[in-house]
Amino acid sequence: MISFEHITKWLQAWLNAHMSPILVLAVETVLIVILAIALFAVLGLVLVIMERRVAAFMQIRMGPNRVGPWGLLQSTADTVKLIMKESIVPTHADKFLFNLAPFIVMIAAMLILAPVNFAQRFHIWDLNIGILFITSISSISVIGILMGGWASSNKYSLLGAMRSGAQIVSYELSAGLSILTIIVLCGSLKVSDIIASQETGWWIFKGHIPAIVAFVIYLIAVTAETNRAPFDLAEAESELTAGFHSEYSGMRFALFFLAEYINIFIVCAVGATLFLGGWMPFHIGHLQGFNHVMDYIPSSIWFFGKTFFLIFVIMWFRWTFPRLRIDQLLNLEWKYLLPISMVNLLVMTVVAIYHLHF
């Protein structure tokens, strides 16, 4: 299988031959940071234009077609506009927390990238509790949202932040139980082990009905966790102007905006890893001929293809379903998704103990 392994090994060998171990670690850390920032920038540009194109497709219209060939530079124009805009801090705001909040959200998103396997043997840190690390760090972003809403000294911002806090904390339960459903099958929290366990088939196919139920609940829960429509109560324009970031402008607003799209990419990458095999090609049991043909497609293409498919589904939700009320949103979680997730986890435990999966 084609992979980035030979590139990383060559780079490691070259650095070791020319530098001391401490300097090698420092250079590798700087390279990782630069690549992470570059990935954030590229994803921001790609996902914004993708959002506009998906919206246009759903509404049977053209979409961006003015800036650049086929409108592909529209997100670049949006970025330049945000950079040039004045960043205003409200008079009565807590200036330190107001400025800190966007960075907390972005730092949390950057940390979550560490255990993600972008291709075969191509990751930042494959720690043995990778999934636990992801679920733990993802909870930090809500602190930045609450901080920004409270520090803005604006009632609409505070109300949006409180809604977001209640929403994220609630739906984390169903998302976590859906993740546990697959962990029970794998018997490991290490991301590379989870991917390796799907060598003969992805868990969404091998795990029977409980895996499909967990996948559907996971998609609903992470859509709510990322404050995406129809669960965008934290930013409800018709009620709260812009919710928790009403007072943010310029680059501070851009950081919140970018963090939302990065979080969408991350939750879809985790979903692709758990249910669709991550970078693992589509294999069917022990059909060696078919599996060998699938191996010719680079692992990075498999990973990003699955991830962007899930991103498309989440964007599809936005332009299909109307916004829920806050009571409907919380009822959906506490009265339906959470009980179903708990029963589904119990059923999957029985499936795993008695090896009833494929």
Reported as a single tens digit per residue, the pLDDT across 229-254 is 788 877 766 666 767 778 888 888 88
The pLDDT of residue 260 is 86
Whether the per-residue pLDDT at 2 is higher than 60: the answer is no
Peptide bond into 210 cis (omega under 30): no
Rounded to whole angstroms, the Cα distance separating 22 from 28 reads 10
Query: What's residue 285's pLDDT?
Result: 74
**Cβ count within 10 A of residue 321:** 12
In the chain, the N- to C-terminal Cα span, in Å, equals 24
pLDDT at 71 over 90: no
CA–CA gap between residue 26 and residue 39 (Å, rounded): 20
Token code pair at residue 166? 């209640």
Which residues, other chains included, contact 84 with Cβ-Cβ below 8 Å and sequence gap of 6+?
none
* pLDDT, greater one: 166 or 178: 178
Chain-centroid distance of CA 190 in Å reads 18
Query: Is the pTM here over 0.85, yes or no?
Result: yes
Q: Give backbone dihedrals phi and psi of 91, rounded to 5 degrees, phi first.
A: -60, -45
